[in-house]
Amino acid sequence: MLTDVPAPGEITVDEIDRRSRSALAVPLLRFLKASLVDRVDGCWSIGLPPSPNALNAVDALHGGVIATVLDVAAYLAVVPHLSSEEEAIRTSSATVLRG
């Protein structure tokens, strides 16, 4: 529960905002002009304006953009549930392509 006076170790609204803004401060998301919008219950949504920078060769939203925004959106959904001492990170990732 988010309150003005957090319990020891509980994450504050200010800390959620700081972490959320930091997540969108990476160069790729700045290039795409992604922004935080519509904070509800301490959790932000991501706004992505229409832009040629986000499109693929057939003028559809690029799959890499979708994956990037989804990855950050998942992080933003988790942040309000972390304690002030916790951070959400991915420790490994693998892609296997078979022909």
In the chain, what are the domains?
1-99 (3.10.129.10)
Q: Tell me, letter by letter, the H, E, C secondary structure of 7-32.
A: CCCECCHHHHHHHHHHHCCCHHHHHC
Question: Which residues does 68 contact at the CB level (< 8 Å), separation at least 6?
Answer: 28, 29, 32
The one-digit pLDDT tens for each residue of the chain (99 residues) are 455 565 667 888 889 889 999 999 999 999 999 999 987 776 788 999 989 999 999 999 999 999 999 999 999 888 888 888 888 876 666 677 776
The predicted structure's pLDDT at residue 84? 84
The predicted structure's pLDDT at residue 38? 80
